[in-house]
Structure 1
Amino acid sequence: MPTFAILAESMVEWKRVPMFLIIFILSITGVATTNAIASKTDRFVPQDNYLLSCGASAAVPLDDGRTFRSDPDSVSFLSTPTDIKIAAKASLASASPLSPLYLTARVFSDISTYSFFISQPGRHWIRLYFSPIPESQYNLTTATFSVSTDNMVLLHDFSFIASPPTPILREYLVAVQGDNLKIVFTPKKNSVAFVNAIEVVSVPPSLIPNTTTRMGPQDQFDISNNALQVIYRLNMGGALVTSFNDTLGRTWLPDAPFLKIEAAAEAAWVPPRTIKYPDDKTITPLIAPANIYSTAQKMASANITDARFNITWEMAADPGFRYLIRLHFSDIISKTLNSLYFNVYINGMMGVSNLDLSSLTMGLAVAYYKDFIADSSSIINSTLVVQVGPSTTDSGNPNAILNGLEIMKISNEASSLDGLFSPKTSSQVSKRTLTGIGLALVVTAALAVVICCRRSHRPEWQKTNSFHSWFLPLNSSHSSFMSSCSRLSRNRFGSTRTKSGFSSIFASSAYGLGRYFTFAEIQKATKNFEEKGVIGVGGFGKVYLGSIEDGTKLAIKRGNPSSDQGMNEFLTEIQMLSKLRHRHLVSLIGCCDENNEMILVYEYMSNGPLRDHLYGDTNIKPLSWKQRLEVSIGAAKGLHYLHTGAAQGIIHRDVKTTNILLDENFVAKVADFGLSKAAPSLEQTHVSTAVKGSFGYLDPEYFRRQQLTEKSDVYSFGVVLFEVLCARPAINPALPRDQVNLAEWARSWHRKGELNKIIDPHIAGQIRPDSLEMFAEAAEKCLADYGVDRPSMGDVLWKLEFALQLQEKGDVVEGSNDGIPMKSLEMSNVDNMEKSANVIPSYVQGR
């Protein structure tokens, strides 16, 4: 399953702080001095403390007080058949903003092992630093390798996909039973492994308990022998906290990118010196520093009488693993004891009811934390959800807070933190695993691997087996694939065309698209591309409904080699979908590249395009008003993710009701990324490009100036909203002149206050007036003449969710709603960010 460091662009929503800025801040040398350092009595002195700068010629001191040994000092730890050390060129090193830890490396052409003597058995941190050094004789950007300990897989077929590659820090907590810890680097065949720096450090015994509460069945779960990987470590409502301010060398990131609705939360702060720790030492700054407990997110505008909503954080997660979730609390907002009661939810389940911090801590501003175990079965749509909201029994002004959050992946039955691969080999599974996942599953997997190994020139990760072939192999590299696409686009197929139209661009090193289908399988699934199975047609070719042996239905897009324009759009869609993954975006399942064909396979959306459920098909029952709100919210979430989820953002450029598809549960998913463009960077205000899109949905400012921004999608979505409300096409030339254009016509009626006269008769009696007004206001603002006057998709999403809440007024299920009408918050603490550490944690690069 996924190597999370490869998913930064598809799974983190840096909505307030741009990703490149966070990476830069974290990478520059130096740390902050704005916050007080913990006192000496709070500092932990580890029994084992190995800090190695691999490949360095001299010791490397860091500004947080730690010093990493040089390679001559650390070579005694290493057993390797070849002694390869590399370093960045002097000119590059002197100009690099990165920590010196990333400017040297050890390279391994064969299996190599670091061995560390352990004086105190128990949990130890393993921190691994990776950054390809440019202009060396080894192309480390394409290195693919695995890392394991004696009894635990840490990384399997790890490689870089970011371009340019950015430094990565992976952080693990591994239980060591004996007096020796081995870290084994295994390069893939015809590749190399490398590492820039290694930490092996004792963990305070009190930091991680042996057992904790499992969500769902309320019993205890033993994690004493499991390894952990830090996935997220967040400072709620506060700025970046680095190793300079954390006695255990940890980095805590701002939580803003993970807030589902930013406007639902408001940052709170007190001076760190006011934070108190319990006298019995059950909680100390080793659990979390005062900087974490001195900031919090609370309910915004919580002084509204009887406000009922939750603050929600959403984080991507691998559904194949359990997670340890640690919540940090300190009541820094109350004036008196026993005045704050709130609920905590984990993945929609009640974690704590009527939590009263002052009763637990016997004071205000006192540190407290609570641990939970989330089972893999509770993770829906690869998302972990943490919520806090007011207690239903609280009769005062309701509020809820959260100060800090840590999420750690727990190793699985195969003793792995990266897929079902045992520590010994990636194709063998231990007896303990047989009990956990079933003998039949393992036999199936083994047979699939044997069969796939017979396929020539196919990378190992593509040798998929039946139990995971329906998931994108996100722990594989798609950098080669992306460069192949880039080259193909530059050459405009000139050097790749064949007699049949084009040659395969899915080179053996370019797979990154999920399950591989043979052409025979595609023919069988589509009944040899039967015409009555066509469910869509575009410039790229046709889309067929297909079905495989187990009855699973698929949408199969077959590229047309005779259309350069269609193939350009086809390649764009590949580039976009290979790095995007979201519940409200249509998922790419796999591909086929035999017989000079270019075929992509998608999940089948059984309820088809949104338009058909509005006015496109008289045989389909029209959607209810509530269904239309839910569909609009889903589409808005997909677009919001496009705009904010990638490092640079993506502009869809063809938002319309035929590109919003509905699955069997009427969940809306945005489709067709053939016209999509990368959003402008911070240095740009727009992307200059030829005008493309669909009439009736086209942003007039983009049409006039050929300057594309995310607000062009917002305009198109405004048209979609009025289409949802009025159930008529965006352009209808058969109507009188003043009614041809839906956007202009609907806006004129809304301004007259008579919008109710043009809404779809099927839903006219279902809509509450306040819900209608909120919905119409969102649509109206989307259609502003100038992009600068239009809201962001996040703001539109909030208004739509509030319109749904108004529609359900008085009948909202506890724990399911998020947000109230309020102003969007400013990021007040960006300018106060602390001086950064010299590493980039996996929970920056890993989501």
Structure 2
Amino acid sequence: MKIPHFFPLSMSTLFFLCLLRFVYFVSAQGSDFPSFSSPIGPYVPPDIYLIDCGSPQQAQLDDGRIFLSERDASPLLRTKQDVLALVDSLSSSETSSYPVSSLPLYRTARIFPDEAIYTFKVSHAGLHWVRLYFHPIPCPTYNLADAVFTVTANELVLLHDFRVTDISKLVFKEYLINVTSSDTVLLKFTSEKSFSFVNAIEFVSAPDSLVSDTATAVLPLGEFTGLTTYDYEVTYRLNIGGPTVSPSNDTLFRTWQPDNTYMTFAEGAQNISVPFGVIKYPNPGATAYIAPPYVYATADQMANSGVNQQNFNLTWKMSVDPSFSYMIRMHFCDIVSKSLNQLYFDVYINGLMGASGLDLSSLTGGLAVPYYKDFVLNASVIRNGSIMIQLGPAATVDPSSPNAILNGIEILKISNSARSLDSDPAAGSSKGRGPRTNKMKIFAAIALATGITAMFLLAKSFLGKKKKRHQTWNHGKSSSWLSPLNNSKAHLLSSRTSYRSSLFSSSKSKSKSGFSSFFASGGFDRSFTFKELQEATQNFDEKAVIGVGGFGKVYLGALEDGKKVAIKRGNPSSQQGINEFQTEIQMLSRVRHRHLVSLIGYCDENTEMILVYEYMANGPLRDHLYGSSLPPLSWKQRLEICIGAARGLHYLHTGAAQGIIHRDVKTTNILLDENFVAKVSDFGLSKAAPNLDQTHVSTAVKGSFGYLDPEYFRRQQLSDKSDVYSFGVVLFEVLCARPAINPALPREQVSLAEWAMQWHRKGMLEKIMDPHIAGKICAQALKKYAEAAEKCLAEYGVERPAMSDVLWNLESALQLEEASTSSGCDPQKGGLQV
């Protein structure tokens, strides 16, 4: 049923809408806030719709807000039929994350046997709250616990196949959506197999200042931009160290839960609070819109703070959907220090450094001044379906009184590239259910809504500009995160030293117990001294750096005979780097091929981790496609490069005694020598292929988003077909000369794999290909090439070709291109020129 953008409202409805806006203002202004310094007043939302669904009369909550009755809200609803349900009373013992004051909203419900649409007129574009209330109250004609339904707001999926089976449970769902171009929002309830229902609805404007555009990306550590383009679901909102903050005490009518049930080491935390009037909001900076003074006036600090050897962290652990990325907002307010510059602490998220040596005094310029910091956590680093936040005294600063403090936590799920905030249960099944399900499967590899994965692209340039970086973020103090009492600085240094010692033999003993044994068994008999490599790199001069990674830096060096080499020096503080070094040596000691970067030698003096490779003069393939001033590659050059890379991968999969899965195939890991011969590099994430009687290797998901096999992402089952998928993305990247992920583009264009597949199905791939080669490709060659890329991107591994078949198709495309050149083929038509 098509709903017009404009619909008539009765005078009573218009009156109530105006009344609601007035009540919202008065309620916020009349909240029980004490006197405190704030640069802004109560927020008055331009758009406000509060509906008590199924209620014969309006409902007024304790916080002063008035919800429309069913009669007053009826002009907003379009549906073929509906049923009203009413229950006499509800017990406050019902389980809910929402305060008892909201109980009146759960007493009634509206039931929709068919599709139902609420149409909300939007007068002000920007952020809007969508709050939904669900409780399966008794109904004579329907058992609401059997309802399974989907809720969307325009094209955004809020709930997919949602149900509430526990009849004692009160469910509250809260979203923050970004309304841009449309002047209406259609809140749609649909059900394929049963019916839908809802107890109450809020659709209310939110301040645009609520979400900042930038945040700190946790992996790799750097800046992420573009947060204002996404939609969010509020997963957790915690008042650390204090009681529940009800909507009546929040300018935006939010609820802040106490953190007790999420604190994993309560003995290590101590509650602290100050009078609300002490809180001084900065101008500019945090406001009461960001969080009310009730949140900033309470906190948890470290118990027994001031002890010189703190061997634990403040730790909170929250369960989340691991298929999504999250924005994490932490609220800080120094209400513990007696003077400035006494408090320095580190922040870890899932064991990764988020902020090192955080100094609230320098950030706020005073005590009891609110401050908040946003982080973006990619789905790839969510362990065991949970987010863990830890704080402890700074490892890089020696404060006079070691301590850490936190006042509030908000965890917001970020919409994915399929414009969804709820997982599709069919995504892991072989039985798709229409275009939307297929689209979500294709995007399953991109846990972050469009741009979260861009942190990998942004951080690459970010890290490249940094001359010095505190590297403990890989594991931080919380590398032993399973045990909060196991995180002392001395313990970490000791464990890292012993781990390196087990991998490397002493340069004096020349034993073969470490990496030397890998080289010896693999025929790598060149052992460099550390002095030799110092001389080759001018003492590891920063000007010689040609690459940076989690392992450390890569330097351009020149040996005594003048031969240029690439020297990879491991970072001793990176546990991740040690693992990748070991893996790379294990893999490269087993393989040699013209299209694999060769490992020349090594140095393991004084616990150094240094590998020496052949130098690839023309660098990464990506630099020749976009983002640099290098001249564009011809179409034939691109074909030959893809064929070379395919040969290297084919050898990895089949040439060794046991196959090898690269696991990180992308254009930055395909290097070009002085003759533009392609060679696959970087085997730090590689994995031995399964045995003949196995189809896959079960392992944690690793790789680069945008290239990641969605089936591997969903099931954690790795196979050589995962490399095939990644190579399919590379093929389109070579053809279109654009990144695999570009969050700056419109949503439908963010993922190159999805975007290119759409145009390929239309038969119009030339519309999006690199202008430098558009119109210069033989039609038959382009068709063969695109077919190879399309097959690589099949949803399921069993449907993808082996690398040998991909190689054959690319070689066929090259033959067609060469034949067309010699015969005078018209690139546009594929025929002979006359």
State the TM-score, normalizing by the size of structure 1.
0.46
> Which has the higher Rg, Structure 1 or Structure 2?
2
Q: Which has the higher contact order (CA 8 A, sep 6+)?
A: 1
